[in-house]
Amino acid sequence: MAESYPMNGGNGTYSYTQNSYYQKTGINVAKGMVSEAIGEKLDINNFSSCSNSFRIADLGCSVGPNTFTTMQNIVDAVQHKYQSQGLASKIPEFQVFFNDQDSNDFNTLLTSMPKERQYYAVGVPGSFHDRLFPESFLHFVNSSFALHWLSRVPEELLDKNSPAWNKGRIHYTNASDAVVDAYSAQFTKDMEGFLDARAKELVSGGMMVIITLGCPNGMPYAHLAAGIMFYCLESCLNDMAKEGLLSEDQVDSFNLPIYAPSPKEITELVERNGCFSIERLELTNWRTEADPRGDVRACVMHVRAGFESIIRKHFGNEIIDDLFERLLKKVKESFHLIQSSYIGGTQLSVILKRK
């Protein structure tokens, strides 16, 4: 059964709602690419003859507000497509399915929806690694900053007799090849399930947009800013273990279920699935639009919004504030490394079309 890693819910100081600036930036970077693909590649003539509704799913929607911006961008682009082809009178009604794990804060999501939205909204709890919708039901699928979350931590990382036992580490950053391979194998399994499910749910000619963390072909993750951040978090946890604030075994048994695939890996998985054509695939650089001042506290708040729940579940409530204060200090000390890390594209944007 897939594990659940919800973002911090609500609207408080440490919530995802208040600390999702970087995702917002990434979505803005990809907006033009998605609108262009809809204008050039979406087969609306096939859809118009069989239905008066256009069904969109956002998989891994979290709690907003970024999902609402993304969905409106897609609706606007589809409407423009109809108008540009002289089919304004045939513009369908839109239905949007907001999906995330059962543990997601759907209350915050549903109560913060735009009142003037141009679509009917539905909440769909469940893992997107499995089927969520009837066959040939969806016309468009979006998944932004969700697919880099693995469905589970690879079991080998917790086995002391395995070459992939990840003692003293919390990620594959700076880890052995066996650890990297275990992460890659789990991502492959998850992505195969995701593509198989979507191939059944999307209509022929339907489109899917995937935006996720990415890594250039052959580049170690330690060269990326996110890898340095994970190493800082790991260092903080090990320091706390040395001070007796938590146990060494707790650190050894904790691993972040995050994997950033390369363009080559995604290409191979899509081609192996065989149900989609790759319309566009590229690493884009969201950092060109990010805050040029390098706000360290904002970076750490972003990490806290995303990872607090999984850390709290493993280590308990008591260490949380101390841990993130230490992380803030550690990142400040290491920020020159983050600023000098690889500055090219680390956001993988993929546009697929159902054959």
Give the pLDDT confidence of 230-269 residue by residue, as tens digits: 999 999 999 999 999 999 999 999 999 999 999 999 999 9
Q: How far is it, in rounded angstroms, from Cα 112 to Cα 337?
A: 38
Which CA distances in Å does 233 have to 18, 179, 199, 310, 320?
21, 18, 38, 13, 12
| Mean pLDDT, residues 162-174 | 97
Q: How far is it, in rounded angstroms, from Cα 316 to Cα 55?
A: 41
Under the banding of pLDDT at 50, 70 and 90, the label for residue 343 is confident
* For the chain, domain boundaries: 16-354
Is residue 114 scored above 90 in pLDDT? yes
Which CA distances in Å does 98 have to 119, 122, 140?
12, 6, 12
Q: How far is it, in rounded angstroms, from Cα 353 to Cα 210?
A: 11
CATH of 16-354, one of 3.30.1330.20, 3.40.50.150, 3.40.50.360, 3.40.50.2020: 3.40.50.150
Classified as helix, coil or strand, 227 is helix
Report pLDDT for 159: 96
Of residues 338 and 321, the one with the higher pLDDT is 321
pTM of the model: 0.95
Is residue 121 scored above 70 in pLDDT? yes
Give the pLDDT confidence of 191-224 residue by residue, as tens digits: 999 999 999 999 999 999 999 999 999 999 999 9
Report pLDDT for 289: 53
The region that residue 74 occupies, defined by phi over 0 for left and psi between -120 and 50 for alpha, beta otherwise, is alpha
Report pLDDT for 3: 60
Structure tokens, 41: 């590649």
Q: How far is it, in rounded angstroms, from Cα 242 to Cα 173?
A: 21
